[in-house]
Amino acid sequence: MELSILNELKFVDTNFLNTELYKLIETQLSKPAIKRSYSNCIVNFFNSRHDQIYDIAPYTNIYYNQSDVDKLFRSLSITEQEVINILQKVWFWKENYRPKCAKEPYVEVMMCIIRYFLKNNDSKAAELSTIYLCFSGKFYASLYGTFWKFPANKQVMDYVINSQLTNKFDIKAAGTLFNAIKKLCTTFLQKYKSKLVTNLTDDEVGKMIQQLRDRERSFLLNIYAEYRKAVDNKAYLNYEVDNLDADAFRITDNDAATASRLTEGSMQILTTQAVSLKDCKIIADERVKEYQIKDILETIILGNKENLPQIRRVINILICDYFSAHPGTSVNSDEFIRCAVAAKPNTKNPLIIEMKQTVLSWLEQDATYRRRSKTKATANSYYSRVLFYFALIIIKASQR
């Protein structure tokens, strides 16, 4: 009886993914025009979902549909049916095989692409292709939908990211969803590169797919477990906005209410979105480049959750300072930007002095700033760039 069961469990492995599908992909990617076409396809996919992929947490599902599959196959100048014809020869095609996505044509194509770039020592292309696979429908969208049956509550997720997660969680340490998935993929490739470039059997390829998918599943499950705890405990991030000292800023009740609303709105943007490189390009000048200010802002905003109360206060000071000089107006103006970044060297306002000391204390933690701030003009530029970025966030909050 036992021998009979063992015989039923036996399978004869095949090698069609290596001998036929990989050869097809290798032939296509060896053509420069097709390789460029494929690269453009991948970049366009990431660009089309930029806000979700580069967010600081998995707030929403990232859908991958048939049009994305079609674009991938077109970029390679092959058809999905060609791939299906090969997969139908694989031993597990008609079996109840795990992972089920190993029978998905585009998944097997991506595994061949990853292998191709690894074999040709193009680690960056291999990494980007692996990240693309992790954001595809049979990976991210499927896994996300398994945990979050409904869209995540932003206030709860904000609480989880800011209060529950430590740097032991990849999403917290990496700062964005993209960077966290990138780290996952890099680790996977480092561990399995030597195996991936060999002539894997069809079952071995399936096991590699399972390894990658299980890693992404664990990544999302760890976040979801903390999310469920927060939901069960009715915990969420709530920024209570106080009015600043009336003796320092004399503003009307209406402006005070507006300042409170804008402060809360700005904090929601800062804690739920990655630092915008586009905005950093806008505020950069000849002394501070966009990547320098982006690095500093990421450290301030995402690097230490204990900075959040100080960030909130700096934003509230910026808003109230403007309303005290421009009562009844809107922050959605160039005048607000000018007011925010204007030097106030002789001010006796204790809140403006407090704001400057706070921002400088953040900047002093950056080694590049400490080295370059010996030049007063450069030091002033760094300071004003931080306030400029916060001013842009405040304007975005006013437009919501």
pLDDT one-digit tens code per residue, 270-324: 888 889 999 999 999 889 999 999 999 998 988 777 788 899 999 999 999 898 8
Q: Determine the pLDDT at residue 249.
A: 65
Mean pLDDT of 373-391: 91
Query: Quick check: 31 pLDDT over 90?
Result: yes
Report how far residue 399's alpha carbon sits from residue 142's, in angstroms, rounded to the nearest whole number: 34
CA 162 vs CA 153, 156, 203, 265, 296: distances in Å? 14, 10, 42, 16, 18
Query: Quick check: 78 pLDDT over 80?
Result: yes
User: Contact at 8 Å (CB) between 340 and 391?
Assistant: yes
Q: Taking Cα atoms as reference points, which of 91, 77, 69 lies closest to residue 141?
A: 69
Q: Determine the pLDDT at residue 248.
A: 55
Distance from CA of residue 372 to its chain's centroid?
30
Q: 334-341 and 308-325 helices cross at what angle (nearest 10)?
A: 120
Q: Taking Cα atoms as reference points, which of 120, 144, 126 lies closest to residue 186?
A: 126
Query: Quick check: 5 pLDDT over 60?
Result: no
| HEC secondary structure over 274-319 | CCCHHHHHHHCCCCCCHHHHHHHHHHHHCCCHHHHHHHHHHHHHHH
CA 302 vs CA 52, 108, 112, 295, 307: distances in Å? 17, 37, 36, 10, 9
Query: Quick check: 160 pLDDT over 90?
Result: no
More confident residue, 113 or 238: 113
- Among 20-24, 175-179, 252-256, the least confident range: 252-256
Three-point CA angle 217, 221, 225, nearest 5°: 175
Q: Determine the pLDDT at residue 351.
A: 86
SS3 346: coil
Three-point CA angle 354, 290, 266, nearest 5°: 50
Mean pLDDT of 122-147: 96
Query: Quick check: 369 pLDDT over 60?
Result: yes
Question: How large a percentage of the chain has pLDDT more than 70?
Answer: 93
Q: Taking Cα atoms as reference points, which of 281, 286, 282, 277 lies closest to residue 375?
A: 286
Q: 11-32 as b/e, with b when 16 or more CB fall inside 10 Å?
A: eeebbbbbebbbebbeebbeee
Q: Determine the pLDDT at residue 360.
A: 93
Q: Grade residue 252 by pLDDT with cuts at 50, 70 and 90.
A: confident
User: Contact at 8 Å (CB) between 275 and 294?
Assistant: yes
Q: Determine the pLDDT at residue 305.
A: 75
Query: Quick check: 203 pLDDT over 90?
Result: yes
User: Contact at 8 Å (CB) between 279 and 392?
Assistant: yes
User: Contact at 8 Å (CB) between 387 and 318?
Assistant: yes
Helices vs. strands in the chain: H and E counts, helices first: 22, 0
Q: Determine the pLDDT at residue 264.
A: 85
Report how far residue 284's alpha carbon sits from residue 275's, in angstroms, rounded to the nearest whole number: 14
- The neighbour count for residue 400, using CB atoms within 10 Å, is 10
- Name the pTM for this structure: 0.62
Q: Determine the pLDDT at residue 156.
A: 85
More confident residue, 155 or 16: 16
Query: Quick check: 240 pLDDT over 70?
Result: no
Query: Quick check: 211 pLDDT over 90?
Result: yes
Q: Grade residue 253 by pLDDT with cuts at 50, 70 and 90.
A: low
Q: Taking Cα atoms as reference points, which of 277, 269, 268, 265 lies closest to residue 50?
A: 277
Mean pLDDT of 135-139: 96
CA 389 vs CA 146, 175, 185, 323, 382: distances in Å? 37, 18, 32, 19, 11
Three-point CA angle 186, 126, 69, nearest 5°: 110
Q: Is 65 exposed, middle or buried (0-12, 13-18, 19+ CB in 10 A)?
A: exposed
Tokens 């939901």 belong to residue: 231
User: Contact at 8 Å (CB) between 217 and 143?
Assistant: yes
Q: Grade residue 174 by pLDDT with cuts at 50, 70 and 90.
A: confident
Query: Quick check: 112 pLDDT over 90?
Result: yes
Mean pLDDT of 86-98: 95
Q: Determine the pLDDT at residue 254.
A: 76
Structure tokens belonging to residue 164? 């529950």
- Contacts (Cβ under 8 Å, ≥6 apart) of 379: 369, 372, 373
Report how far residue 44's alpha carbon sits from residue 30's, in angstroms, rounded to the nearest whole number: 21
Q: Determine the pLDDT at residue 336.
A: 92
